[in-house]
């Protein structure tokens, strides 16, 4: 007589049934599974068994039916946990608010005078639970280490969301620029530009990364590290946009050339904004009349804005002039030439008030150096300065408008070139006999 076998290929004589009064029956096998020819049928039969259905039901229902053992043993534990979570939510929302507004979390000196602690104390006036939480001596989660950890977690979450959006784009372009902070540390600013399938343009700031130097090899390595960190593929890179420094745009060993070796389709474009700034700078410096007028204007803004006493005299005289609605004096930027039109306009609008300010300032000046520097009054009275300032304002206001247009992320490269041609035609039309 043939021996009977189970659905799993075991002889029934080799099966031992183990039972538990509170659990479904479980089967313990002595010799493992052997019926591999009928594997599919055997597994389907097992899915219909009572023990498999019971185990599946436990896996599904167990997470939703079980509770924290602390909550089951004590109501006070559950209440304490709910209050702690509510207090911690205030901590998170306060840090998020300060980070969103770009405000310092900690103040000068003692941390108890910082913006973060003061914001929590203000919230505690309307929340007794938070007020009692703030009186705790330990485990209040308000220390500088906890603050930094929360900010880091928030920034990581934001970067993950940005990275996920960028990875969905079929093509990317990268823009970087090096700068030096107040601690004399070289940093690289990284911005990635993308276009969605709906042709919406987005520019995402990915962060500032410290670098030991700004040579081409180091900057290229920084770009590779950013792409590796965010899991970007160089196959999607179609454009590079840098300034005209040799380390960035060098034809033989610059950053642009090194990236082209990785992805030949990543074409390099010299930043239009910097090109415009360099063109305006070279043009103005080659015309002595404009150069002298701008140098005097720069000295005027320094004399006024860096001296509270002289600026106070200027504001008082400006208010006393009949019908004066002009704005205050704006400092002439020493590096950016495409933001100088507003500064020159402020000088022209306040010309009379400035002349009276120099006359009164000379009367109260005691040192010879100050009197010599206030000699700009004589230069302001010359025809060359007045004509040069008016001419500079006429030219620079058009380059300023062009610079603002080039910063519009919605414009394509072809549209930006068209705007530049229109500005050039406008400047040409100003020439008359």
**β-bridge partners, 190:** 176, 207
pLDDT value of position 365? 63
Bridging pattern class, strands 23-29 and 15-20: antiparallel
Residue 379 lies in a domain: yes
DSSP-assigned letter for residue 5: B
Q: Range of 347's domain? A: 276-429
Residue 157 lies in a domain: no
Same domain? 422 vs 317: yes
Same domain? 260 vs 309: no
Distance CA 244, CA 55 (A): 68
Distance CA 253, CA 241 (A): 16
How many independent structural domains does the chain possess?
Answer: 4
Same domain? 92 vs 61: no
Distance CA 303, CA 314 (A): 11
pLDDT (tens digit, 9 = 90+) per residue, 347-384?
888 888 888 888 887 776 665 555 555 677 788 888 99
Residue 144 lies in a domain: yes
Task: Say how many residues make up the chain.
Answer: 433
| SS3 call for 242 | strand
The token pair that represents 101 in the structure block: 């507004």
| SS3 call for 179 | strand
Residue ending a domain, among 223, 246, 270, is 270
Same domain? 288 vs 423: yes
pLDDT value of position 323? 65
Same domain? 112 vs 137: yes
Residue ending a domain, among 21, 41, 65, is 65
The shares of helix, strand and coil residues in the chain, as percent rounded to the nearest 5, are 60, 10, 25
Same domain? 105 vs 212: no
Same domain? 142 vs 263: no
Q: Which residues of the chain carry a pLDDT beneath 70? A: 1-31, 67-68, 70-72, 107-111, 323-326, 364-374, 433
Same domain? 56 vs 88: no
Same domain? 59 vs 78: no
- Tell me if 259 sits within 8 A of 240, measured CB to CB: yes
Same domain? 102 vs 217: no
């Amino acid at each position: 007589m043939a021996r009977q076998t189970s659905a799993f290929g075991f002889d029934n004589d080799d099966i031992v049934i183990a039972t538990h009064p509170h659990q479904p029956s479980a089967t313990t096998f002595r010799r493992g599974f052997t019926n591999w020819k009928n594997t599919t049928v055997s597994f389907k039969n097992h899915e219909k068994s009572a023990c498999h259905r019971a185990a599946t039901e436990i896996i599904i229902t167990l997470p939703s039916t079980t509770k924290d053992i602390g909550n089951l043993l004590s109501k006070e534990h559950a209440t304490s946990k709910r209050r702690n979570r509510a207090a911690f939510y205030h901590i998170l929302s306060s840090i998020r608010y300060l980070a969103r507004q770009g405000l310092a979390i900690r103040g000068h000196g003692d941390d108890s005078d910082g913006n973060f602690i003061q914001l929590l104390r203000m919230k505690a006036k309307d929340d007794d639970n938070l007020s009692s939480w703030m009186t705790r001596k330990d485990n209040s989660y308000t220390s500088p280490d906890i603050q930094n950890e929360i900010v880091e977690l928030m920034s990581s979450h934001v970067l993950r969301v940005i990275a996920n959006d960028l990875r969905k784009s079929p093509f990317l372009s990268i823009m970087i620029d090096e700068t030096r902070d107040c601690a004399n540390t070289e940093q690289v600013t990284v911005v990635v530009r993308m276009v969605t399938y709906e042709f919406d343009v987005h520019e995402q700031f990915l962060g500032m990364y410290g670098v030991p130097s700004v040579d081409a090899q180091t900057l290229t390595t920084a770009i590779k590290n950013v792409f590796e960190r965010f899991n970007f593929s160089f196959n999607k890179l179609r454009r590079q946009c840098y300034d005209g420094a040799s380390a960035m745009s060098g034809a033989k060993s610059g950053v642009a050339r090194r990236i082209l070796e990785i992805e030949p389709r990543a074409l390099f474009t010299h930043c239009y904004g910097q090109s415009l700034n360099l063109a305006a700078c070279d043009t103005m410096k080659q015309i002595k009349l404009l150069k002298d007028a701008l140098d005097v204007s720069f000295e005027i803004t320094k004399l006024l804005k860096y001296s509270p006493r002289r600026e106070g005299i200027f504001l008082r005289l400006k208010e006393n002039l009949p019908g004066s609605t002009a704005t205050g004096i704006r400092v002439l930027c020493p590096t950016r030439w495409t933001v100088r039109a507003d500064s020159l306009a402020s000088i022209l609008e306040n010309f009379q008030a400035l002349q009276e300010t120099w006359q009164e300032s000379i009367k109260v000046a005691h040192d010879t150096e100050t009197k010599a520097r206030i000699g700009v009054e004589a230069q302001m009275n010359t025809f060359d300065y007045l004509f040069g300032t008016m001419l500079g304002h006429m030219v620079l206001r058009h380059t300023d408008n062009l610079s603002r247009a080039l910063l519009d992320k919605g414009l394509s490269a072809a549209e930006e070139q068209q705007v530049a041609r229109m500005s050039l035609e406008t400047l040409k039309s100003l020439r008359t006999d």
